[in-house]
Amino acid sequence: MKKSILCFASILFIFGVSAQIVNIPDSTFKTLLLQNSSINSNMDTEIQLSEANSYTGVINVTNGFTIADMTGLEEFTQITELHCAVNALTQLDVSNNLLVTVISCYGNNISSLIIGNNPNLTELSLNANLLTSLDLSSYPNLTVLNCSLNPLIELNVANGNNTNMTSFSAMLTPDLQCIQVDDPAYSTANWTDIDTSAIFSLDCSSTNSLDVLSTETKELISIIDLMGRETEFKPNIPLIYIYSDGTRERVVKLEE
């Protein structure tokens, strides 16, 4: 009987311990978190739930770590900044990270971004991704936005506080015909980093529609880096190819 009770207690203990471990399936993301002693305070081989929940700093996994999945981020509920640029992400969910003020995730392949109800957000760098729609009307404290180099069709930044914006960029988004804002006159005068094909409006609901696609053969007209700067071809570096029909392609050619 004692052996049975002891065995049962051991099972409960093991289950309890495993239940406190944060699930981080991407090995690269997990390794980078484990290497940070401010997060992995006991320097073991797992991130405990208590470690994730209590961490109040910045998560920075930027620059070519090829992270494809940031599952586990949801447990870091007290981080203030997230930097995960130049990786291999296709989606990003920060809806559980409600104290984040800065999100920098440029240079990925993100087509799905979930921010959630976060009034603290002030800076958002999303350039060079695959986003087609972006509604930022619920973030009144936003001061910096870069959403250039995305195949955007819809962009709403009418957050009731557009005059608070210190930096706005929506360049190289040829399918974006209309940007919804608080005051079109103010935005036209102060936000000049947009394509000539786009306009500012109080209501874009009837404006954004795709033109008929051209059947002409497309030609490469420009190469830019992930910061939107024109450059020449460079091996082993992510670049954006811009074609004559307005399409863009992210290219990395390895040096032989």
pLDDT digits (tens, 9 = 90+) for 143-167: 999 999 999 999 999 999 999 999 9
Q: How far apart are CA 253 and CA 250, in angstroms?
A: 10
Two structure tokens written together for 9: 């207690």
pLDDT digits (tens, 9 = 90+) for 1-15: 555 544 444 444 444
* Percent of the chain residues topping a pLDDT of 70: 82
Q: What pLDDT shows up at residue 214? A: 38
Q: What pLDDT shows up at residue 230? A: 81
Q: What pLDDT shows up at residue 255? A: 58
Query: Domain-by-domain residue ranges, the chain?
Result: 21-125, 131-139+148-211, 214-256
Please determine, for residue 123, whether its predicted confidence score (pLDDT) is greater than 50.
Answer: yes
pLDDT digits (tens, 9 = 90+) for 162-216: 999 999 999 999 999 999 999 999 999 999 999 988 999 999 986 544 433 333 4
Q: How far apart are CA 199 and CA 41, in angstroms?
A: 50
pLDDT digits (tens, 9 = 90+) for 18-76: 559 999 999 999 999 999 999 999 999 999 999 999 999 999 999 778 999 999 999 99
SS3 at position 225: coil
Q: What pLDDT shows up at residue 158? A: 98
Please determine, for residue 249, whether its predicted confidence score (pLDDT) is greater than 50.
Answer: yes
Q: What pLDDT shows up at residue 248? A: 65
Q: What pLDDT shows up at residue 215? A: 39
Q: How far apart are CA 198 and CA 178, in angstroms?
A: 5
Rounded to the nearest angstrom, the gap between the alpha carbon of residue 187 and the centroid of all alpha carbons in its chain is 24
User: Which of 97, 30, 170 is CA-nearest to residue 40?
Assistant: 30
Two structure tokens written together for 184: 């079109």
Q: What pLDDT shows up at residue 1? A: 52
What class has domain 21-125? Answer: alpha beta
**Mean pLDDT for the chain?**
86
More confident: 246 or 52: 52
SS3 at position 216: coil
Q: What pLDDT shows up at residue 250? A: 66
Pairing of strands 248-251, 239-243: antiparallel
pTM for the structure as a whole? 0.77
